[in-house]
């Protein structure tokens, strides 16, 4: 009688264990495949098959730098429409106009690179001088 009760339970337990082992095996294979894919991508970058720019874009996916540059550009444009802030914005741009030329070129270049422009328009000629 006990045998009749234990036999189905043993079958269920065996199936559960087999399913667990199979799941672990698949997860391990998936992890190995991910590691191999990342290794191949890095090798391709090293040999030049994948351009550096594409790699840089992938690395900046979680970066807040682009959002910071966008905010820095948009805040003055928005504040100009707020009356009490206009004198401050105007004064700020007057001060920016007095900065050394090399510094303004660096700002253009940094903003362009952050926004994904390979070479900012006009910077190429300025750097050759």
120 pLDDT exceeds 50? Answer: no
110 pLDDT exceeds 70? Answer: yes
What mean pLDDT value characterizes the chain?
78
Question: Both 114 and 87 in a single domain?
Answer: yes
62 pLDDT exceeds 70? Answer: no
Structural domain ending residue among the three candidates 10, 28, 50: 50
Number of domains in the chain: 2
Question: Both 65 and 124 in a single domain?
Answer: yes
Give the percent of the chain with pLDDT over 70.
Answer: 66
Question: Both 46 and 59 in a single domain?
Answer: no
Global pTM reads: 0.41
Question: Both 18 and 64 in a single domain?
Answer: no
Range of the domain at 104: 55-128
Question: Both 112 and 82 in a single domain?
Answer: yes
Q: What is the pLDDT of residue 73?
A: 85
Question: Exposure string (b/e) for 98-118, b if CB count within 10 Å is 16 or more?
Answer: eeeeeeeeeebbebbebeeee
| pLDDT tens for each residue of 6-61 | 667 677 777 778 888 888 888 888 999 999 888 887 777 666 666 666 666 666 66
Question: Both 35 and 76 in a single domain?
Answer: no
Question: Both 62 and 85 in a single domain?
Answer: yes
């Amino acid at each position: 009688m006990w045998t009749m009760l234990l036999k189905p339970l043993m079958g269920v337990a065996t199936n559960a264990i087999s399913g667990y082992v199979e799941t672990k095996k698949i997860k391990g294979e998936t992890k190995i495949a991910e590691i191999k894919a990342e290794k191949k991508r890095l090798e391709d970058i090293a040999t030049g098959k994948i351009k550096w720019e594409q790699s840089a874009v992938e690395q900046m996916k979680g970066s807040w730098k682009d959002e910071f540059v966008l905010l820095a550009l948009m805040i003055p444009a928005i504040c100009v429409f707020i009356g009490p802030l206009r004198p401050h914005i105007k004064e700020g741009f007057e001060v920016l106009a007095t900065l050394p030329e090399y510094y303004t070129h660096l700002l253009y270049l940094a903003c362009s690179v952050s926004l994904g422009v390979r070479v900012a328009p006009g910077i190429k000629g300025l750097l050759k001088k």
